[in-house]
Amino acid sequence: MQFTFSAAFFALVLAAAAVPTKRAACSNGRTAAHASCCVWFDVLDDIQENLFDGGECGEEVHESLRLTFHDAIGFSPALFFEGKFGGLGADGSIMAHSDVETLFPANNGIDDIVDAQRPFAIAHKVSFGDFIQFAGAVGVSNCAGAPRLEFLAGRLNFSIASPPGLVPDPFDPVDKIVARFADAGFAPNEIVDLLASHTIAAQDHVDPTIPGTPFDSTPSIFDAQFFVETLLVGQTFPGNGSNQGEVVSPLAGEFRLQSDFAIARDPRMACEWQSFIANHGTMTTKFRAAMSKMATLGQIRELLTDCSDVIPVPPTITTKPFLPAGKTLIDVEVACHASPFPTLTAQSGPATSIPPVPPS
């Protein structure tokens, strides 16, 4: 009798679990898993049109993605252990306390995107911490080849200005960068995973005379070209070459950060770096996981609501990484010796030259 009752009970539980959960009705006929996520569809419509220029993978996307990191990395358990305030992570403090944090040297120039985003967050009555991560995820979705990032909502609109010195500089030694990320909870390979963001990034302030200079030759496509070109032998500076944090680039019109150059060749991270060249799926999966981890630094994940279904699905790509025109495998500074360097198709024609992308 007891067996019969238990079997019937579990049958009812399974039957209930099989019934689809009714989704919340949102604006313009859209639905979300949670009613509290509906507001984000309205934010989505607004920022796609008025922040991202109709859904482009452009300068505002680059800067919004940069902002997600600069807000979140302001988190140091080591400082707490020393009895000091170590920041609250992805809490929106860089926007709430922009008069403090945008003055940190490593946050040079980030005040522009902070000022551009703040009115949207206020108008839609969402927290600064949520908005920063949402704008980053939406922006990435505009870039072909990118993963659909997770977005969790529910961060309080309360923050305290982050302590200085927690955002790595491009001229920092690799050991210092690794230690800073370790303090925030990231292993060396996860640094590489996060640096996949540089495939759709550009510099504006390391050399302010040439803003919009990209880090690879396909800055509007989320591909592994950045990981190829960072390993090429350097030949030229796109600007005057006298800037701290910059090293010689392999292509005219392309910018190379000192930190990217060094991490790509560091034995702790070189094989992770090389692995993305041959496997786009691995690169996007690991980038998504690292971004999810970063976006919840200092937060209690279980108290947040998963609103990822509001994030658009990015366009797919079929292209593969290549050797830029004028380059051969001789130009590749292979740093991972545990596995063969991937086979790449070489472009034909004159040497590749990349025109800078002016900020919009």
Which residues carry out catalysis?
70
Q: Is 91 annotated as a binding residue?
A: yes
Residue from 160, 137, 40, 149 nearest 89 by CA: 160
Q: Is 205 annotated as a binding residue?
A: no
* Structure-block tokens of residue 159: 């923050």
Q: Is 31 annotated as a binding residue?
A: no
Distance of CA 331 to the CA centre of its chain: 28
Q: Is 216 annotated as a binding residue?
A: yes
Which of helix, strand or coil describes residue 168? coil
Q: Is 89 annotated as a binding residue?
A: yes
* Structure-block tokens of residue 92: 């929106």
Question: End-to-end CA distance of the chain, in Å?
Answer: 73
Q: Is 199 annotated as a binding residue?
A: yes
Q: Is 331 annotated as a binding residue?
A: no
For the chain, the 3-state helix, strand and coil shares in percent, each to the nearest 5, are 45, 10, 45
Q: What is the 3-state secondary structure (H, E, C) of 29-42?
A: HCEECCHHHHHHHH
Instruction: Give the dihedral of Cα atoms 151, 192, 128, 202; nearest 10 deg.
Output: -110
Q: Is 99 annotated as a binding residue?
A: no
* Binding region: 71, 89, 91, 93, 198-199, 216, 218, 223
* Binding region for heme b: 198
